[in-house]
Amino acid sequence: MASVVVERRGPKDDEELFRLYGDVFGTPLADSSRGRWRWQYLDNPANADGPEIWIARDGEALLGQYASMPVRLWWGDAELRSSWGMDVFVNAAARGRGVGALLFTTWSDNVEVALGLGLTPSSYGLFKKLRYDDVGPIPFYQKVLDARAVATRRLGKTFGPFVAPALRAALAVVARERAPVSRGVNVSRVSSFGAEYDALWDKARVSYAMCVRRDAAYLNWKYVAVPHRGYDLLEARRGETLVGFAVARQEDYRGTRLGWIVDVFAHAEDDGAQDALVSSILAEFRATGVARVQCFAMNRSLGRVLRRRGFLAGGSPMQFCVRARGSARAPLADLERWHVVFGDSDMDR
């Protein structure tokens, strides 16, 4: 390990890193990463001085990298410099030399709060070995809109249609939608995020113990300028006042139309705004033939709204580990007031 150094990636390293990425993950994933690279690493409004990508080198040989997504993080009662850990890989010849741990430590030592979301088993094990705080998994919610389609997908065309009525009846009991609490809130589609979203962030952030800064610059980068996804954007208003927004999308997944609620943001205690946004998304999903809706939501208040709309909690694969530098640990005692969803980090890529 004495000859291994970790440093910030430079432009001269691009081609070798893409080649190494292809060796580890395969050419299709390397090509996909290259296609979104500028958006993901150069256009991020939280970038201060270029991509926050750390590389391990032994002489002229590149051994691996740890790429991160810098963000401004509301953490307790202040905004801190933070980042999501994302693409980490190590050359096969360098494994077992502690290169991965060195990359992890260098990354976390250069931010105030290091965030690891949606971890692979190997990364999760390394996070725990390095004594990151394990705060996951992120709660996962599902709602069936088309019992016949879901039953047919699971049981086939012979048995699915016969089971569908029983599934529909069971869901009417265990996943009953309760009366809405969103009177006075109007929801409409938007194509981008204007200056009002900065004011919404400033007002709503104090209701969370932890949340990535969701101002106009971040939202337009994350959900409008993104080159590899198309999103439906909705905003909620009381009269003329903006009180929240939501992000959703649909996809065909193994023969089933799947709907994702990617983000819902409002003041954490504004059940009316959150309920109106979720209800509007569900109405659009029903109109377009979505069979099942999925959502990750760490915040207690949003989880309450989802359950009111008939979502059921299930097992979650999204592990989450955090390291806060110095004494900035207070939010770790208030996890139910954290706001983490599928749209955070690079989970929806």
Domain boundaries, the chain: 4-134, 140-315
Kindly indicate whether the domain formed by 4-134 is annotated with CATH number 3.40.10.10: no
pTM: 0.91
Tell which residue, 74, 26, 152, has the closest CA to residue 18.
Answer: 26
Query: What is the rounded distance in angstroms from the CA atom of residue 204 to the CA atom of residue 266?
Result: 6
Query: What is the rounded distance in angstroms from the CA atom of residue 317 to the CA atom of residue 96?
Result: 26
Residue 75 has pLDDT above 60, yes or no: yes
Residue 1 has pLDDT above 60, yes or no: no
pLDDT at 327: 59
Q: DSSP secondary structure string, 8-44? A: E--GGGHHHHHHHHHHHH-HHHHHHHHHHHIIIIIS-
CATH topology of domain 140-315: Aminopeptidase (3.40.630)
Q: How many CB atoms lie within 10 A of CB 113?
A: 20
Give the model confidence (pLDDT) of 155-206 as tens digits. Answer: 887 777 878 888 888 887 788 888 887 779 999 999 999 999 999 999 999 9
In whole angstroms, how far apart are CA 232 and each of 150, 187, 273, 277, 278? 23, 12, 17, 12, 12
Flag the least confident range among 170-179, 240-249, 287-296: 170-179
Q: How many CB atoms lie within 10 A of CB 107?
A: 22
Structure-model confidence comparison of residues 259 and 36, the more confident one: 259
Q: Are 256 and 285 in contact (CB under 8 A)?
A: no
283-308: average pLDDT = 97
Average per-residue pLDDT for the chain: 89
Q: How many CB atoms lie within 10 A of CB 142?
A: 15
- 137: cis peptide before it, omega within 30°? yes
Query: What is the rounded distance in angstroms from the CA atom of residue 105 to the CA atom of residue 328?
Result: 18
